[in-house]
Amino acid sequence: MSFFASVEMAPGDPILGLTETFVADPSANKINLGVGIYVDEQGRVPMLASVREVEQALATAVRPRGYLPIDGLAAYNRLTRELLFGAESPLLAAGRVATAQTIGGSAALRVAADVLKQVAGAGAKIAISDPSWGNHHVIFRTAGFELLQYRYYDAASHGLDIAGMLEDLSRMEPGTVVLLHACCHNPTGVDPDAAQWQQIIDVLKERQLLPFVDMAYQGFDQGLDADATAIRLLAASGIEAFVVVNSYSKSFSLYGERVGALSMIGSNRDEAARLLSKIKQTIRTIYSSPSTHGAALVAGVLGSAELRDRWELELGGMRTRIHEMRAGLVERLAAHGAPDFGFIQSQAGMFSYSGLSKAQVHRLRDEFAIYALDSGRICVAALNRDNLDTVASAIAAVCR
């Protein structure tokens, strides 16, 4: 008998599985609203001009391909800290932030999970929003955490259940890790405002919970600083320890380069140094060190005042297009006699919890070759001026 005879088939990823089904669909007019990638008006992943300029310079100045340090490119880590916390942040001046370059945001999550599990031991618990990105559950469960949930999305109002969220957090045991989406909540598109963030942080502080902020979409809602409101409020709150992971996949359109980072905040410089040592030890056991190219691209843009300005304009263009697609979808749905979908315009980022049922989603796929997740989550960035009316007409049809 084979050594692997007892291996069971792992469940497929619902998002990647949907994409596979979409690719296999022979329909000439199929539309994929399940994808988690920003695409432009032509349906292409954009190549940012600011990034292209750095890449051309790197190609000209060819260097040996040695290993990066375990924690990655030093300039990348410094510039990441400044982007997340603000260049003048007292946390940075005090040396309280331990940052390491990681292989995308997913590796940042897993490395952080492993480090936190070592600290918390057998009783490690993490509270995750209901709903959340599915990989959050898998990563922390695999790392040995007990998974808890807190109320987040209110289906009736298509908005934030702030009362339920605060009540659930107020019942958590001290030391529980609380996973938070900094902005552009995936999958709902529903975010707290600044006042609600302060309420959340007050409960986290009072209950002695550990905030763990995942920011994959900085700049995709209101702008770089505004989208970091949760992080900036945490930094000013007096909470001595928290965690931030971030990704540049969306904001730099560098999905395949896997550029992310993990930042762990300690109470002082010495604690941050000890945290960095544990981060590096953990990275060494998983992938040893990160790759060079993507980090060099990001650092090249962020480290140049001219290129950073150009990048912010390009990022602003992507953000504006998403806002326009939200408004356009609401307008076209109304024109086709659909129920009120005005809430879509108040949501943030690439994704929207559309309110469509599983049955309606399946009708969209089977009758109109329009693909969305069974939860009703759609990617607003996949809309464009050419398919907007088609999508709105189909959604209106399945709502009748």
At 276-310, the pLDDT tens digits run 999 999 999 999 999 999 999 999 999 999 999 99
Rounded mean pLDDT, 351-367: 94
Domain match, 222 and 79 both: yes
Asked whether 350 and 217 are in contact (CB, 8 A), the reply is yes
Which residue range forms the structural domain that includes residue 392? 14-47+307-399
Alpha-carbon span 41 to 242, nearest angstrom: 38
How does pLDDT run across 66-90, given as a tens digit for each residue? 999 999 999 999 999 999 999 999 9
Express as a percent the part of the chain with pLDDT over 70.
Answer: 100
Of 303, 320, 351, which one is at a domain's C-terminal end?
A: 303
> pLDDT band at 64, cuts 50/70/90?
confident
Least confident of 14-18, 208-212, 241-245, 268-272: 14-18
Distance CA 85, CA 93 (A): 11
Question: Given this model, what pLDDT does residue 65 score?
Answer: 86
> Cβ atoms within 10 A of the Cβ of 364, count?
24
- Give the pLDDT score at 20: 85
Has residue 358 got a pLDDT over 90?
Answer: yes
Sign of CA pseudo-dihedral 180, 183, 189, 191: positive
Closest CA to 377 of 69, 31, 34: 34
- The angle that helices 194-207 and 229-236 make with each other, rounded to 10 degrees, is 40
Report CA-CA distances (Å) from 360 to 13, 357, 377: 21, 5, 12
The confidence score (pLDDT) of residue 396 equals 96
User: Is 311 within the bounds of a domain?
Assistant: yes
- For position 14, what pLDDT does the model report? 77
Length of the chain, please?
A: 400
Task: Using the predicted structure, report yes or no on whether residue 1 has a pLDDT greater than 90.
Answer: no
pLDDT tens digits, 176-234: 999 999 999 999 999 999 999 999 999 999 999 999 999 999 999 999 999 999 999 99
Establish if 266 belongs to a structural domain.
yes
Tokens (6 digits) for 144:
């040995």
**CATH code of 93's domain:** 3.40.640.10
252 shares its domain with 322: no
CB of 234 closer than 8 Å to CB of 211: yes
C-beta of residue 354 within 8 angstroms of C-beta of residue 344 = yes
Per-residue model confidence (pLDDT) at position 17: 81
Q: Is residue 60 part of a domain?
A: no
The pLDDT of residue 133: 92
Determine, yes or no, domain membership for 58: no
4, part of any domain: no
3-state helix, strand, coil in the chain (%, to 5): 50, 15, 35
Question: Do residues 255 and 368 both lie within one domain?
Answer: no
pLDDT in tens, 139-177: 999 999 999 999 999 999 999 999 999 999 999 999 999
| Residue 15 pLDDT level (bands cut at 50, 70, 90) | confident
Specify the DSSP class assigned to residue 7.
P
Q: Which of 246, 276, 303 is the last residue of a domain?
A: 303
Cα dihedral value 232, 237, 239, 243, nearest 10? -10
The CA–CA distances, whole Å, from 363 to 55, 248, 353, 369, 376 equal: 44, 35, 17, 9, 12
Q: Are 246 and 260 in contact (CB under 8 A)?
A: yes
Instruction: State the number of CA atoms in the 13 A half-sphere of 265 facing the CB.
Output: 27
Largest CA distance in the chain: 63
In angstroms, the CA 147 to CA 127 distance is: 6
pLDDT digits 0-9 by tens, 49-60: 999 999 999 999
Helix (H, G, I), strand (E, B) or coil at 175: coil
Mark whether 268 and 346 lie in a shared domain: no
Q: Is 5 within the bounds of a domain?
A: no
Read off the CATH number of the domain in which 379 is found: 3.90.1150.10
Q: Give how many domains the chain has, as a whole number.
A: 2
Q: Is the dihedral of CA 90, 95, 97, 102 positive or negative?
A: positive
**Which residue numbers are catalytic?**
133, 214, 250
In this predicted structure, what is the pLDDT of residue 10? 87
pTM over the 0.75 mark: yes
Average pLDDT, the chain: 95
Q: Is the pLDDT of residue 16 over 80?
A: no
What is the pLDDT, as a whole number, of residue 139?
97
